[in-house]
Chains A and B, each alone.
Chain A
C-alpha cells in the first residue's frame, strides 16, 4: 500500500509568537520554522508502516513556500521515499486555507492513488483542524480523526480516537484519511547518514496551475491582534494566606 503524508512548514512550537503592531499578522521574519509537530507524528506512523511491511511507499507532500523543501527533506530523512512540493506563494505570511489545500491534495491523490493518507490533526499556526476531514470528503473516503492508535487488518483500519469523553474506536474501510493526535507515537530523530541519504531522494516541484486549481481564499483576514494580556498577581507565602485571598475574591465559599 502506498501512503501519502501531507506536511506543513510552521513556526517552531518553542518560538514565542509576536503579533505585528499594525494588525497585519504574526511576525514570521527570521524565526525558526519546523515541521508541524502533528505532521511529524504522521510521517513517523507512515514510516513505521513501511518498516512493518504494510506499506511499500511513503510519499510526502508540502504546499506553501519554496523553503518547505527543508521540511520535506526532514521527512525524507525520517524515512519517506519521495517528496512533492506545490509552491503556492513566495510570501510566508500567505497561509493557504484548508479548503484549497484539500483540493490540491485531492488532485495529488488522483495522480498518486495512495491507499491511505495520514495527516496531522491540526497545524499549530492556524489551528484549523480541517484539512484531513475536507480531503476525505472530497475523495468520498472514510475518515478517522484524532487517532491515538491504528492497526490494519485487510482492507480495514481500526482506529482509536481521542474524543471529549475519552476514547472511541472505529473501523474504517480503506482507502481512508487518518488524522493523528499527539499520543499516537513518538517521532524519531533523523540520523546523520539518513540526512545525507535524503538529499538524493526525489523531490518534485509543482504549482497549483499544474492541477488547475483555484486557491483563492474564502475568508478575508480583517486583522490579527494580540489577545488581552493577563497580569501576574501576587505571590502568597502560605496555604493560609491563599485560602484567605480566595475567600476575599469570592472564589471559594
Chain B
C-alpha cells in the first residue's frame, strides 16, 4: 500500500503540525509520500522530510499551485494517482475543496472528515454534526480521505526522507486568484492551540469581544467564536468553531456566552476540559462542561483575567 499525503502549505510554509498529525493517522497503512505543491515549496519540503514515518517528499513547483486553486492541484494529483492506494490530506478547507474534485476525476468516492482509520479500507467519520459516528468500508481501488487531526498526536521529527522534484503540469486555467485576506495573529493557531477561549452572542458586541482576547492572551490561548458571534460581526469567520467551522480538541476550552447548540458542540466536544460561563443555568453547554459558572460574563471574565 502506498499513501500520498497532500500537505497544507501557505505562502511557502508547511502546516507542520497538521501534516505530522495526519502522518500519525495513516502510518499503519503503508509507505507515506508527502506532496508539497506551491509556487516555491523547498523550505516546506525540507520540513516535511523531517517528519518520522515519511518515506518520500514530492515537490511540485508552479505558480498555478500557489493559491491552492482546486483545478490545477486536482489535475496534478490525478496525474500521480496510479501509484497510490490512498490519497489523503488533513481535513482543512483547502483539502475539502480539492479532494472531492480528484475523487470525481478518478471515479471514486471521497471519505470526508475521517476521525479514525480502522484499517486500510475501513474508516470512522462523524455524521449529523457529530451526533453519530459511522464506520464505512470502501470498495474503491483508490481511497480518498480527509483526516480530522484535532485529536491526534503529531508524529515526531528527526526523519530525513528523500526529496524528489516532479515536473510537467497541465493547468486547466478555469479560475484565477484575486486576493487573500488572511488575518495575521500572534496568537496560536486555533486548530493546534492547547487552550482556546471562545465567545458567543452573549458577548454582545465587537468592542466587548476584546475582553475574550484579553483572557486568551493571559492564557496564551487561541480565540474562537460561535457562528452567532461571527454572523453578528463580533469575530472574523476563521474563528468559527463547529459543524461548519473549525474542529478543535484543546486541553482546555472556555466557552463564554455560548449556549451550546449541537452545531457548536460538533466542533469542540472532544476538548479535554470544557469550561462554560453563561448566565442561563439551563444553557445546554452546561450538560457537557466539566466546570460551569452560572454568572454574568461582563463581571466574571475580567475577574478571571485578573485572577490568572
Write the residues of chain A forming the contact surface with B, with a CB cutoff of 8 angstroms: 11, 13, 16-17, 19, 26, 97-99, 102, 121-122, 124-138, 140-146, 148, 158, 161-173, 176, 181-183, 217-227, 230, 232-236, 238-240, 242-243, 245-246, 249, 251-252
Contacts and interface: CB of A to CB of B under 8 A. Distances in A.
B136 A235 contact: no
A164 B93 contact: yes
B117 interface: no
Contact of A129 (B96, B128, B178, B269): B96
B304 A143 contact: no
A134 B101 contact: yes
Contacts of A26: 127-128, 131-132
B94 A130 contact: no
B182 A165 contact: yes
A138 B130 CA distance: 30
Residue of A142, A224, A239 with most chain B CB atoms under a 10 A cut-off: A239
Interface stretch (B25-33, B36-44, B48-56, B105-113): B105-113
B120 interface: no
A183 B304 contact: no
B263 interface: yes
Contacts of B262: 16
17 contacts: A17-B131, A97-B109, A99-B107, A125-B128, A129-B112, A143-B97, A148-B237, A164-B92, A166-B183, A183-B230, A222-B137, A227-B133, A235-B281, A243-B308, A246-B252, A251-B273, A252-B195
Contacts of B133: 224-227
A99 B102 CA distance: 11
A191 to B, nearest CB: 24
A97 B134 CA distance: 14
Contact of B67 (A131, A168, A234): A168
Given A143-B97, A245-B291, A126 B109 contact: no
Question: Considering residues B111, B134, B137, B300, which has the most beta carbons from chain A within 10 angstroms of its beta carbon?
Answer: B134
B293 interface: yes
Contacts of B109: 97-99, 217-219
A235 B293 contact: yes
Nearest to B266: A127
Contacts of B113: 127, 129
Interface of B: 10, 67, 69-71, 74, 92-94, 96-105, 107-113, 122, 125-140, 172, 174-183, 191, 195, 219, 227, 230-231, 236-238, 243-244, 246, 251-252, 262-263, 269, 272-275, 281, 286-294, 300, 303-304, 307-308
A38 B92 CA distance: 19
B292 A128 contact: no
B96 to A, nearest CB: 5
Contacts, number: 254
Most chain B CB within 10 A, of A26, A148, A168, is at A168
A159 B287 CA distance: 40
B94 A164 contact: yes
A240 B308 CA distance: 10
Contacts of A223: 134-135
A245 B252 CA distance: 12
A136 B303 CA distance: 52
Given A127-B127, A145-B70, A239-B300, A219 B238 contact: no
A134 B100 contact: yes
Contacts of B98: 133
Contacts of A239: 293, 300, 303-304, 307
A98 B181 contact: no
Contacts of B126: 127, 227
A76 B104 CA distance: 30
A129 B95 CA distance: 11
Contact of A221 (B135, B286, B308): B135
A170 B174 contact: no
Given A126-B127, A146-B97, A133 B300 contact: no
A125 B127 contact: yes
Centre residue among A26, A168, A219, A226 by max chain B CB count within 10 A: A219
Contacts of A233: 274, 289-292
A240 B295 CA distance: 13
Contacts of A166: 180-183, 236-238
Give 10 closest A-B pairs by Cβ, nearest first: A142-B174, A233-B290, A133-B100, A134-B104, A130-B100, A137-B104, A17-B131, A165-B182, A218-B109, A222-B135
B238 A171 contact: no
Contacts of B231: 182-183
